[in-house]
Amino acid sequence: MAAGCCGGKKEKQNYFNPCCNGTIVHPYTTEPSMYRNGMVACVEMCFCFDVLYCHLNQYESPKTPNFPNESYPLFVTWKIGKDRKLRGCIGTFNSMNLATGLREYAVTSAFRDSRFSPITREEFPKLHVSVSILRHFEDGQDYLDWQIGMHGIRIEFNTEKGYKRTATYLPEVAPEQGSMTFRNLQTMELT
């Protein structure tokens, strides 16, 4: 498998490990007791759960919490159970204001990730959510130009038939999946 041979990018992203209640991180929150990985957990932004709950139960969409509404590319990731198995992850590399982006991708990642069936009401109590706010993009100089656990990687290439293919791995994926797999990706010879 050729990795990143046609325009790989590394992404320096602000990301976090979510709390069981779905707490997410935002770069503007300054409560010092909540720092994790250089970022801050911020409960009021965690309305992804409210959005999903309202959508599952056909209630009116929740009011947006009061938080800075800057624009960023972002991904919303749903995981399920104690072992936090991936249940859906979709986002955008286009900047969106956080209120719109979180609202849209909380639902999109729960219901439209083609790898999974849509999330159900029965699964809701077992869910965990995380939000990756992407910042400081850099083009990789080569396929080795990224650091596991710090950078995400976005791979883009065209197939022999001319179809564009992409893959995105957020910074936390390599440590969660076992960095040896990604080390192998970094050290394999491109053919």
Structure tokens at 172: 């936390």
Mean pLDDT of 97-115: 94
HSE, side-chain direction, 13 A CA sphere, residue 40: 13
Residue 20 banded pLDDT, cuts 50, 70, 90: very low
Cα gap 43→22, rounded to integer Å: 8
Question: For position 6, what pLDDT does the model report?
Answer: 25
Residue 38 has pLDDT above 80, yes or no: no
Cα gap 185→190, rounded to integer Å: 10
Q: pTM of whole model > 0.85? A: no
- The tens digit of pLDDT for each residue in 45-61 reads 577 999 999 999 999 99
- Give residues with Cβ within 8 angstroms of 157, minimum separation 6: 2, 4, 5, 6, 7, 164, 165
Cα gap 50→61, rounded to integer Å: 8
